[in-house]
Amino acid sequence: MKYYLINFFVLLFCSSLVYGQSTGHTDFNNDWKFFKGEVKDGQSPTLDDSKWRTVQIPHDWAIEGPFSKEYNARCGGLPFHGEGWYRKSFTLTNTQKEKNIAIEFEGVMKNSEVWINGHYLGKRPFGYLGFEYDLTPYLHQEGMNIIAVKAKPEDLSSRWYPGAGMYRKVWLNINNDIRVAHWGTFVTSTNVSAKVASVNIQLEIQNFKAADQIVSVVQTIKNNLGETVKELQHKAVAEGSKTIISEQSFNLIQPQLWTLTSPHLYQLETELKDKNGKILDRYTTKFGVRSIQFTANDGFFLNGKRTELKGVCLHHDLGPLGTAVNRRATERQLEIMKEMGVNAIRTSHNPPSREQLELCDEMGILVIDEAFDEWGIQKIENGYHTIFDEWHERDLTDMIRRDRNHPSIIMWSIGNEIREQKEKDGWKVAQKLGEICHREDPSRPNTAGFNQYENSIKNKLAHHVDIVGFNYKAAKYAEIKENYPDWIVYGSETESITSSRGVYHTPFLEKYEKNTDHQVTSYDIIGPIWSYPPDMEFKFLEENPSILGEFMWTGFDYLGEPTPYGGRDNSTNGYWNDDWPNKSSFFGPVDLCGFKKDRFYLYQSQWTDTPMVHLLPHWNWKGYEGKEIPVFAYTNAESAELFLNGISLGKKVKGVDKGIVPIKFSYYEGPYNYPSPYRLRWDVPYEKGELKVVAYNGDKVVSEEVINTTSKAKNIELTADRKIISSANGEDLVFVTARALDTEGNFCATYNGQIQFSVTGDGTFEATGNGDPASLTLPENKKLKFFNGMALVIARANKGDGGKIIISATGKGLKKAQITVETKANPKAL
């Protein structure tokens, strides 16, 4: 293994990192024309596209459906493959004429090809990375210009739902002859402390003209209050038709460090000026100052403080929104994860959106940025292996150059469960990819997620990454550290327990493979053979404190891979349609809509300190009178007491009174009936009424929860994630949760009747969902069924001066409900 050794078995990286954009970075996302299907000469400027649909980018054509098993349940049963065309017409303004103009796509899924005025600009097979094309030679200075984009995703090209089309944003980059190059700023720091940080700014200056030109570089650093803390100025010679690198170093006195609880971001403004003082480019960036340290014996340190990685893996879809990137939807996902106690995410298994990384910077969440799910050996027929030889260096380089500026990122992952693990020379690929990481960013280590425990070690792949990630090998942590004490190790993918929100099958604690209702019990014990309940990861991490932490699979349910239903990797020729209509995963402690399952609270009980307690299952068990129901409490308090209809069923102490759960998985040699110190359990003879749990620290009540047997559903409760949308910019969303209640206001946890939503006022309907992995109701439908008492509607705030969005809900036998959300004018438009 190649190390950057600071002292024995320590990897230390100190970084002050930036991301940013030029003042010429112009929104180019409205009024695109779209057609799904093959188009002869779709790039032709004379093509009549007047009957094509008008769409706003980001746009995912596949989420529009229909659901069908012919599209492969493994990928959500949605039509993500095929051909789609986008076209946009525009004329240059007077200020844009004679400028250098490029178009930047943040991501097109996939095999994109782009034309301007009929001239071919290029192709990009990989759908997860952005790219830029120079339009300047082919632009009409007067009259209309036509951009055409073709996307052609293939069947069997992804192991999950990838989405389709222009699902990330598009920009015009309008520049003078000299500019800061695309992704052209990189700032690093060394010797970071609360007193001082040594900062180095690397700036790439691009000259479009043939002649050399002397430019003045003026750089101003401001804190989050807008106060100037440093000014720098120097001159550089921008060589003709070249990109030069200019570097500046300085000491930042008493830096405000980027931390998980106070993620301070500085702003760097870079101005390029000609000899007369005219501004040629202004490039504004944000950056954070922090140090990261990885040790073989003591774990991970952020700014010198030991920090256990409490991480989740996240796929890139946004549930009912598909893969079309939306900042608020992404922010909501991360807010829910933070509430669970998450402090890190792994972008599984691809480069993430810009919005996700910016939000992690702003919210104080660590990131493992992952490049590939395949290298050169096939997992699926049309996977990344088909382009690996030609594109891997370009794609990995671009990912790092695009993302190296985010303080949240702590590692680069070069691959996930790659098949080269079984090859004698597989280490050579790992070594090459690792060298690219070190070349492009010496300030961070690289890693990979290995699932073939023996092969990854025998064939030396684990020896050729800086930090070794093992998938589902918690029971092997002690053995790994005994055999390789100098390795820095973490759980790159853990648990893989499956569950459906609010479902509890009988027999209650039976570990089965499938159920006739196409759901999985929420007792948090069911998973594939390689998986194990969270209790096991908690246990083995406690026993092996040198392990950095874990990244649980997955933080949210996602479209596709409906394990245990439909298939398995390498089975059924890549198709997972055996158990249709299952079309989304069960892995998350949070469902597709962002609704919390019971498992959410099991993690919260281990990962957070604010007192909490959660009780399961529901208490509607007609026909089970007198029969024992396993009742569990998840809490971070010292003890909890259970009451049934006011009568105490006993107080139990966490870690002492252990809840028995069945456990069996690969490499595990412990008891099947495992006494878990992380769960409290009572076996309660059922009688209808009130079930209540009270949590204590000492004799003090710190939290409680009540569950009631409910009568017939009569009411709808609507709750918005925000009462006020502060920017009516045409992009912001509000998420409204509907819950079914009885006449006494109790939550009807087993109600599955129909609900219909409407959105009026200063907003438009966006999507609905209910979190049911077997539902085939498309998100575009305003009418759907509750799933175990809950449903979701998403509304988009109109662009304008603000106002009120009115969301209403009705259902047969239910009283109409209504909620109002206020929107305020977009401050950027004022």
Active site residues: 417, 493
* Number of CB atoms found within 10 A of residue 142's CB: 7
Residue 574 backbone dihedrals phi, psi, to 5 degrees? 90, -10
DSSP 454-508: HHHHHTTSGGGSSEEEEES-GGGHHHHHHH-TT--EEEEEEE-----TT---SST
Element housing 635 (H / E) = strand 628-635
What are the residues facing 700 on neighbouring strands?
A: 697
Task: Name 558's Cβ contacts closer than 8 Å, sequence gap at least 6.
Answer: 160, 161, 315, 317, 319, 584, 585, 587, 588, 592
Q: Smallest Cα–Cα separation from 371: which of 323, 409, 338?
A: 409
Structure tokens at 258: 């980027």
Element housing 684 (H / E) = strand 680-685
Element housing 535 (H / E) = helix 534-543
* Number of CB atoms found within 10 A of residue 743's CB: 12
State the DSSP code for 564: T
HSE-up of residue 499 (Cα within 13 Å, Cβ side):
31
Structure tokens at 214: 């002397």
Angle, nearest 10°, between helix axes 354-363 and 327-340? 40
- Residue 613 and residue 640 in contact, taking contact as beta carbons nearer than 8 Å: yes
Angle, nearest 10°, between helix axes 327-340 and 598-607? 60
Cα 256 to chain center, whole Å?
A: 27
Structure tokens at 252: 């930042």
- Per DSSP, the three-state class of 119 is strand
H helices within 423-487, ranges in order? 426-440, 453-458, 477-483
CA angle 248-254-259, nearest 5°?
95
Residue with tokens 């930036």: 18
Output the CA–CA distances (angstroms, integers) from residue 490 to 486, 530, 548, 608, in the order listed: 13, 17, 5, 20
Given the DSSP bridges, would you call strands 366-370 and 131-134 parallel, antiparallel or unpaired?
A: unpaired
- Per DSSP, the three-state class of 645 is coil
N- to C-terminal Cα separation, the chain: 55
CA 14 – CA 443 distance, rounded (Å): 7
H helices within 341-476, ranges in order? 354-363, 388-403, 426-440, 453-458
Residue with tokens 């830096």: 255
CA 143 – CA 136 distance, rounded (Å): 15
CA 125 – CA 113 distance, rounded (Å): 9
Residue with tokens 């609360």: 194
Q: What share of the chain is helix, strand, coil (3-state, %, to 5)?
A: 15, 40, 45
Angle, nearest 10°, between helix axes 598-607 and 534-543? 10
CA 635 – CA 632 distance, rounded (Å): 10
